[in-house]
């Protein structure tokens, strides 16, 4: 036996006054001494009455030191907020235990299975007489123990919080490879007890690497083999099958957890080699009301990788329930309640049903699939054929087990197959998951694994990646594969198989088209669309059926798109909306993941195929369309001459480029709507109005994106001296700040990103909003910065993270950049801030329009060019004086973000420029 003791002094982040020893009976009939961290005495000395207790349980091979930041955050918030009894702030007592045989608690030498550990913790908390209500917090196998305590003490429980853990091993998947390796008899004792191998490996997988003193602190209780015996015993207690001693207890806990109705929070690191996303998916099925945030770059030690303590305390302030409130169910994982639609909900497949059933329309063209370059012919799909195909696939999917609420990842290029599958899934209430292949294999993998689909439908290349990278879900191929290849890729069916199954089953069902077993409602989730990943890891944006229906109404009303429209969609989502609009749609011959592959001839040939009246293309695509216009034939030019509407949204578009596009489509009205994945169309403006509005932009400059479309509300939250959007929501002309939007077709929420969703919303204070006359809609923070002019038009001035906060005031980047790009020879410019917020220096980085490239990759601009840049900046802002530009650098190529070729990655550029000015090596940005 090794007695309990206090940790050594001086461990980083650990206050000595938190440590104490507590003796309590254990479930094996003895009395044991625990080491715990407890801020109760500190709160009492400050005269603070606890709101309740956060009970923290570590896993293997850590100890209570894991929870030091939670103690710090709770104590600091309590001290700064005042007494909870006075209603000023919540005051949480935090108790973090060292489990027996672990950390600095007693080593009894006795075997402690899961059931024993749960019972031991219960006896300890009885001794401690916890202030109620109690919130449990667990990680790793401490998550299981904490949940065991939670289900055994419902009368005390307020809510549960979890970091990476698992409470059930899926029957269809093996234990993680790391655990299988360690559980081998020949390695178990050697890797966990005799050596520090298991401990060292766990500490080595932090992202980023742990500081040396923190790593030493985690190792401190386990310096000898005798002190590491508990690590080995913990691993040995993992129930690998139903014969294991702890299997029954794990099953009891996992079953009981599904009955919990208290608020729940899960903060997850998907880079965990042990408790990966499949365990998160299992927990979500048991706690579907839980609020979830996945941190893409975090792993097993998510509490070390990410500052989770502030998130937990913020969540607790909004989600605490007393034992009398146990019927409360959190809603964030399911998303905020959808706003009522401004018009009656019309399912996306309604027009397709009508056209397919109408004998006069059924033979008409619904969509055209262009032949790949170098081949002949094109695929024409009629409304009748598309309707039958959707019917067959939807019924076939039902027959193979796809049901309402299942997530179906679609890894299929735009065309007839993707369109049919999208509408088939929507009809039966399955949730489509769409992530752009342009994210790359790594980014796409993160998106697919994060969404954790039940099914994946993909082309062979995508399914090969799915197999190699262990993406979850039943695999369905778009094409027919040979039996050996299908077996190798784990493919259960092809689309042809599913259509055949649907055809065979359809005669036995009522009606010409398959229907969901459960009705699909407007508030049901319809789709998860991933963002481009240009501002960090791609986020899953959740849309309900009602919100997509509202989007169709906006497109129809704003741009006149509907029956008779020929739509050329160089932006895949709009091609998929064609059948819902009643439009004949086609995706031109291009790589939709690389917009610059769209040529003028490809647009023209697609226009000919559908008698196009509307063309949608991204800014980067239009650049290449203009560049390849000389290749157009006379018939192709005539086809473009029949186009009446051109839409382009994304990065800001320069007027000279739009004027070149206008020459290709002389009869078209060119629109540049403002939107994002979270809200595809928020404002609209035409080229003609942009030209007329140029003098109204004000000193801030920016890009005019027009007025809000019908059903959209837009406000501005003014920036403070540090460039933060802290102002009230106003529509006052000339006020620069963050653009905040509300609309019926705005996204519902972000998938498994509770904190991101919370930060993106401006409706958390209903009383304050009501006082401003803004009660009702949910307001979304776009992270874009702009202002209204006197005529109610919105001007976009850049991104919130790119605002430059100088000592003289804040500068938005687009205005100065526009002025600089008028200088002869300047191709592109980027204005970035270097230094601390509130005292940043303006640095300008240029890409020149010349063939000769710099040998060094970066240089200072010439005196003449620097003078011209400084003069241009002075004209665009009154905040910068004669010497206000710290430096003007010239590079061969400005860095662009992952997906938008026409956007400059100013965040990366600012960090690079700061390093250069600090004397770093002159590497290219």
N residues, the chain: 925
- Take residue 704 and report the two structure tokens written for it: 């005019």
Under a CB-based contact definition with an 8 Å cutoff, are residues 714 and 739 in contact? yes
- For the chain, the first-to-last Cα distance in angstroms comes to 59
Any idea which of 353-357, 567-571, 746-750 has the lowest mean pLDDT?
567-571
d(C-alpha 667, C-alpha 226), whole Å: 84
Number of Cβ within a 10 Å radius of residue 807? 11
Q: Is the dihedral of CA 355, 356, 362, 364 positive or negative?
A: positive
Residue 317 in 3-state DSSP? helix
d(C-alpha 219, C-alpha 202), whole Å: 11
Under a CB-based contact definition with an 8 Å cutoff, are residues 569 and 575 in contact? yes
Element (H, E) at 427: helix 416-428
pLDDT, average across residues 78-84: 67
Any idea which of 38-52, 137-151, 768-782 has the lowest mean pLDDT?
768-782
Give long-range contacts, CB 8 A cutoff, 24+ apart: 152-157: 152/118, 152/122, 153/122, 153/125, 154/323, 154/326, 155/323, 156/130, 156/132, 156/323, 157/133, 157/260, 157/262, 157/323, 157/326
d(C-alpha 903, C-alpha 436), whole Å: 17
Under a CB-based contact definition with an 8 Å cutoff, are residues 754 and 291 in contact? yes
Partners of 676 in the β-ladder: 679
Tell me the domain boundaries of the chain. 16-169+243-319, 177-236, 351-538, 547-672, 681-742+756-800, 804-917
* Lookup result for tokens 């804040």: 810
pLDDT, average across residues 163-190: 76
Query: Would you say the CATH fold of 804-917 matches that of 681-742+756-800?
Result: no
> Does the structural domain 16-169+243-319 have CATH classification 3.40.50.1820?
yes
- Within 13 Å of residue 465, how many CA atoms lie on the same side as its CB? 17
pLDDT, average across residues 864-892: 84
pLDDT, average across residues 513-542: 80
Residue 897 has pLDDT above 60, yes or no: no
pLDDT, average across residues 581-589: 93
d(C-alpha 398, C-alpha 503), whole Å: 12
Task: For domain 547-672, give the CATH number.
Answer: 3.40.50.980
Residue 902 has pLDDT above 80, yes or no: no
Under a CB-based contact definition with an 8 Å cutoff, are residues 911 and 895 in contact? no
Report the mean per-residue pLDDT for the chain.
88
CA of 570: how far to CAs of 347, 603, 606, 675, 900, in Å?
24, 8, 10, 16, 14
Written out in words, the top-level CATH class of the domain with range 681-742+756-800 is: mainly beta
Alpha-carbon torsion angle 396, 399, 400, 404, nearest 10: 90
d(C-alpha 325, C-alpha 330), whole Å: 11
Q: Where are the beta strands (DSSP E) in 617-755?
A: 645-647, 669-671, 674-676, 679-684, 703-708, 712-719, 725-730, 737-743, 749-750
d(C-alpha 143, C-alpha 147), whole Å: 6
Q: Which CATH architecture fits 351-538? A: 3-Layer(aba) Sandwich (3.40)
Task: Tell which residue, 741, 679, 759, 677, has the closest CA to residue 293.
Answer: 759
- Take residue 140 and report the two structure tokens written for it: 């790793």
d(C-alpha 125, C-alpha 27), whole Å: 13
- Take residue 1 and report the two structure tokens written for it: 């036996």
Q: Is the dihedral of CA 752, 478, 470, 238 positive or negative?
A: positive
Percent of the chain residues past pLDDT 90, beyond the cut: 67
Under a CB-based contact definition with an 8 Å cutoff, are residues 338 and 523 in contact? yes
Q: Is the dihedral of CA 241, 243, 245, 247 positive or negative?
A: positive
pLDDT, average across residues 807-825: 90
d(C-alpha 494, C-alpha 474), whole Å: 11
pLDDT in tens, 642-677: 999 999 877 667 788 899 999 999 999 999 999 999
Element (H, E) at 294: strand 291-294
Q: Is the dihedral of CA 746, 751, 752, 753 positive or negative?
A: negative
Under a CB-based contact definition with an 8 Å cutoff, are residues 146 and 55 in contact? yes
d(C-alpha 194, C-alpha 508), whole Å: 66
- Take residue 289 and report the two structure tokens written for it: 């009301």
pLDDT, average across residues 599-607: 94
Residue 331 has pLDDT above 50, yes or no: no
Number of helices (H) and strands (E), helices first, in the chain? 32, 37
Task: Tell which residue, 437, 416, 465, has the closest CA to residue 593.
Answer: 437
Q: Which has more confidence, 440 or 290?
A: 290
**Cα 891 vs. chain centroid, distance in angstroms?**
32
The pLDDT score that the predictor gives to residue 773 is 56
Written out in words, the top-level CATH class of the domain with range 804-917 is: alpha beta
Any idea which of 417-421, 497-501, 651-655 has the lowest mean pLDDT?
651-655
Under a CB-based contact definition with an 8 Å cutoff, are residues 672 and 704 in contact? no
């Amino acid at each position: 036996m090794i007695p309990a003791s206090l940790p050594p002094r001086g461990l980083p982040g650990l206050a000595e006054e938190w440590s104490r020893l507590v003796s309590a009976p254990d479930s094996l009939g003895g009395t044991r001494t625990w080491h715990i961290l407890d801020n109760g005495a500190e709160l009492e000395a400050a005269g603070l009455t606890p709101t309740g207790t956060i009970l923290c349980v570590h896993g293997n091979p850590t100890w209570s030191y894991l929870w030091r930041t939670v103690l710090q955050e709770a104590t600091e918030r309590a001290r700064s907020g005042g007494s909870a009894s006075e209603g000023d702030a919540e005051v949480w007592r935090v108790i973090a235990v060292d489990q027996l045989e672990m950390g600095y608690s007693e080593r009894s030498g006795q075997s402690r299975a899961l059931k024993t550990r749960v019972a031991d913790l219960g006896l300890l908390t009885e001794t401690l007489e916890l202030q109620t209500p109690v919130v449990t917090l667990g990680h790793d196998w401490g998550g299981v123990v904490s949940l065991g305590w939670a289900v055994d003490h419902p009368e005390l429980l307020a809510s549960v919080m979890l970091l990476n853990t698992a409470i059930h091993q899926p029957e269809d998947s093996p234990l993680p490879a790391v655990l299988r390796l360690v559980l081998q008899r020949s390695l178990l004792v050697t890797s966990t007890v005799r050596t520090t191998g298991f401990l060292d490996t766990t500490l080595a997988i932090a992202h980023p690497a742990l500081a040396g003193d923190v790593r030493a602190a985690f190792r401190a209780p386990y310096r000898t083999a005798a002190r590491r015996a508990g690590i080995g015993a913990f691993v040995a207690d993992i129930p690998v099958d139903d014969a294991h001693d702890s299997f029954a207890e794990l099953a009891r806990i996992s079953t009981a957890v599904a009955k919990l109705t208290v608020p729940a929070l899960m903060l997850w690191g998907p880079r965990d080699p042990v408790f990966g996303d499949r365990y998160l998916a299992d927990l979500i099925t048991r706690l579907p009301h839980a609020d979830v945030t996945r941190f893409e770059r975090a792993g097993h030690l998510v509490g070390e990788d990410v500052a989770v303590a502030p998130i937990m305390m913020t969540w607790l302030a909004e989600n605490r329930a007393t034992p009398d409130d146990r019927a409360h169910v959190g809603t964030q994982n399911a998303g905020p309640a959808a706003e009522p639609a401004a018009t009656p909900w019309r399912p996306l497949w309604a027009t397709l049903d009508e056209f397919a059933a109408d004998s006069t329309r059924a033979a008409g063209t619904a969509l055209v699939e262009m032949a790949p370059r170098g081949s002949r012919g094109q695929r024409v799909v009629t409304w009748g054929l598309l309707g039958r195909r959707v019917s067959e696939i939807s019924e076939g999917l039902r027959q193979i087990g796809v049901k309402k609420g299942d997530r179906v990842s679609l890894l299929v290029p735009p065309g007839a197959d993707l369109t049919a599958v999208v509408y088939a899934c929507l009809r039966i209430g399955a949730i489509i998951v769409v992530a752009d292949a342009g994210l790359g294999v790594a980014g796409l993998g993160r998106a697919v694994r994060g969404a954790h689909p039940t099914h994946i439908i993909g082309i062979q290349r995508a399914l090969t990646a799915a197999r190699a990278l262990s993406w979850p879900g039943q695999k369905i191929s778009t094409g027919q594969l040979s039996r050996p290849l299908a077996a190798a890729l784990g493919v259960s069916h092809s689309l042809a198989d599913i259509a055949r199954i649907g055809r065979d089953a359809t005669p036995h069902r009522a009606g010409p088209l398959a229907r969901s077993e459960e009705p699909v409602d407007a508030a049901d989730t319809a789709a998860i669309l991933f963002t481009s990943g240009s501002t960090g890891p791609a986020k899953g944006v959740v849309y309900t059926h009602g919100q997509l229906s509202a989007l169709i109404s906006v497109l129809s009303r704003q741009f006149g798109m509907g029956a008779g429209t020929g739509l050329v969609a160089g932006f895949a989502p709009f091609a998929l909306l064609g059948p819902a609009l009643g439009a004949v749609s086609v995706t031109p011959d291009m790589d939709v993941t690389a917009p610059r592959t769209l040529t003028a001839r490809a647009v023209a040939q697609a226009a000919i195929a559908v008698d196009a009246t509307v063309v949608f293309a991204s800014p980067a695509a239009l650049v290449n369309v203009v560049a390849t216009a000389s290749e157009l034939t006379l018939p192709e030019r005539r086809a473009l001459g029949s186009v009446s509407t051109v839409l382009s949204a994304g990065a800001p578009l320069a007027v000279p480029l739009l004027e070149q596009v206008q020459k290709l489509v002389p009869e078209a009205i060119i629109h540049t709507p403002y939107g994002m994945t979270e809200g595809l169309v928020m404002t609209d403006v035409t080229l003609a109005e942009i030209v007329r509005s140029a003098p109204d932009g004000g000193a801030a400059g920016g890009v005019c994106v027009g007025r809000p479309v019908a059903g959209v509300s837009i406000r501005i939250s003014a920036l403070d001296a540090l460039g933060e959007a802290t102002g009230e929501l106003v529509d006052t002309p000339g006020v620069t700040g963050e653009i905040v939007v509300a609309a019926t077709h705005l996204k519902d929420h972000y998938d498994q990103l509770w904190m991101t969703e919370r930060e993106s919303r401006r409706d958390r204070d209903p009383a304050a909003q009501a006082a401003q006359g803004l009660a009702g809609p949910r307001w979304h923070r776009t992270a874009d910065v702009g202002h209204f002019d006197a005529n109610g038009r919105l001007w976009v001035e850049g991104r919130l993270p790119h605002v430059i906060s100088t000592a003289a005031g804040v500068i938005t980047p687009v205005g100065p950049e526009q002025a600089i790009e008028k200088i002869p020879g300047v191709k592109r410019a980027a204005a970035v801030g270097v230094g601390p917020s509130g005292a940043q220096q303006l640095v300008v980085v240029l890409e020149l329009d010349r063939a000769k490239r710099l040998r060094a990759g970066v240089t200072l601009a010439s005196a003449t060019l620097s003078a011209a840049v400084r003069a241009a900046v002075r004209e665009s802002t009154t905040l910068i004086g004669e010497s206000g530009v710290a430096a003007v650098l010239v590079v061969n190529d400005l860095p662009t973000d992952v997906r938008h070729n026409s956007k400059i990655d100013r965040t990366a550029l600012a960090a690079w420029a700061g390093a250069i000015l600090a004397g770093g090596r002159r590497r290219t940005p």
